[in-house]
Structure 1
């Protein structure tokens, strides 16, 4: 049985997406989801299929679905999505970079090192599923995952991505701020940033002041904490200016009341073209009977992910902090 490589799968997705762009007038991102579904379904090769389907089937013949490895699928989809997003105009069409997703997996593996399978993981803004499936692929534990996404195109890509990786993920085409969610062990989300326009929904949250729009990233932090079990964890990608904005005082008070702030790790500045777009990992533990309170939070600026020695040294320091402060 031949093994389908990353290059073969990416070429197949790319060629199929470009064909659908031309023939059906779809955007490249919309076409990625269609191609992924065709590969997953291993569409019938009958001559009764229309010309478009027959052409896609011809492209897909080289793909051995049974041999697809999860990371091969994830990386091929990631490369295709990145190409599609270069031409996208929607501000919400962005994806968590691979190195960041892998570091998030490392942090989640640290905080779950004393857990037993399965663990429940929730992503409040799942996008194309790259962050969530990276966490699943690198966890030694069984993961029961769920994710919410308001953008239909991104959700369709996440669905195809999960199917080809043979992951079972509950995916919802819904605004995660508008519903009450069952508690998870971990919430991990690359937060959307900006104002949330639905004041009637925001009014249900403690972090809505009633004056102007609330910040969506603040509301999602609150929703994440509410949707975590007592003693559970949240790992958010937050803007570097999180604690410097006009609503920062209320957020800080809320976090101190509901959680223990474990870590704030700033991503390398070289990852961002403009300083105001810089992000950090914010790791929190919801207060509960088994909450571990460190003597001091882990605060650090992460080195460039390309500098392997510096990154290895940083991870040694992080491992030491987890061991000494949280016994993990």
Structure 2
């Protein structure tokens, strides 16, 4: 009987070696090859390779993998490790993954507000990437949730698709840029690790309140506005935002928009040690869309989170956050 660690190791070896073989034989990028390997595993099929020695090794591993006996989080984390390996060798700068500790912390915050939501509530991610953040949120949710994700990059979307299948999560995926017009989703919760930079399509951007007065608009501003539009009244929004969000030349307009449309629940600064440079550092912005019965909190939750490796300091911070949710939101 295999131990959990051995199952995890087997799964990683199968994903990784399989992706490397397909990448070499079909001259594909590692990430595209990984999506093919994972998709075939989900279908119960082993990959085809001309390398007979490697084929026998992979066959042995393949026969020991039983996805039904693996915890969803084990599958997510193992798949994430192989995606991370592929991203290190990728040339696309937008290929990045939300760190695991951050995904789990955001999940904890979402579970605080989703406690009163109906079963099968809707979560939307407007910049899905490889789906790691959304998968973590779904796996950690104490009640079933439905999910929608938008991603313009085909490679990342394929990875998100196979990842959701392997974890048996119900996710509806759209291969499109979410700044483009969308149907009215009326989602209960938005969770998005915001892309940062300029949005190239000025024609689409001109329909937004937060468009730039001239030149290209900030994609992170437009996505916040789109998210607000797609959230039902009283719904919640969780964004990973750059620390300089409220210090840019258009931040006054953004702040006015947020105060007009939502209650700013909190801003939690992530540990700076997680990021290569101060410019890349991020925070978690928590909002509630205004609507009937939504009341202003007396005090927003503002904090600088300790390093996730400092267990005692983090436990103390979570106690303070729990207290805030009880006092301010009654949750």
1:185 corresponds to 2:188: yes
Larger CA deviation: 19-28 vs 129-138: 19-28
Question: How far has the Cα of 1:61 moved from its partner?
Answer: 2.7
Question: Alpha-carbon deviations, 1:117-154, whole Å to 9, x = none?
Answer: 12100000111110001000000111110100011011
Separation in 2, partners of 1:99, 1:44: 32
Aligned mate of 2:109, from 97, 107, 110: 107
Aligned mate of 2:13, from 8, 11, 14: 11
Separation in 1, partners of 2:212, 2:311: 44
**Cα contact 2:40–2:46 (8 A) shared by 1:** no
What secondary structure, in the 3-state scheme, does the structure 2 residue paired with 1:177 have?
Answer: coil
What secondary structure, in the 3-state scheme, does the structure 1 residue paired with 2:137 have?
Answer: helix
The root-mean-square deviation of aligned C-alpha atoms, in Å, is 1.8
Question: How far has the Cα of 1:52 moved from its partner?
Answer: 7.4
What secondary structure, in the 3-state scheme, does the structure 2 residue paired with 1:159 have?
Answer: helix
Question: Alpha-carbon deviations, 1:87-108, whole Å to 9, x = none?
Answer: 1111110000000000000000
1:246 corresponds to 2:249: yes
1:291 corresponds to 2:291: no
Question: How far has the Cα of 1:65 moved from its partner?
Answer: 2.8
The TM-score normalised by the length of structure 1 is: 0.95
The TM-score normalised by the length of structure 2 is: 0.94
Specify the alignment match of 2:229 in structure 1. Answer: 226
For residues 109-128 of structure 1, the aligned pairs below 5 Å read 109-128=111-130
For residues 156-305 of structure 1, the aligned pairs below 5 Å read 156-181=158-183, 182-305=185-308
Q: Which runs of 5+ in 2 are unaligned?
A: none
Q: Which runs of 5+ in 1 are unaligned?
A: none
4+ residue segments displaced more than 3 Å: 1-4, 49-57
Question: Alpha-carbon deviations, 1:7-45, whole Å to 9, x = none?
Answer: 111111011011112111111111110110010011279
Aligned length: 325
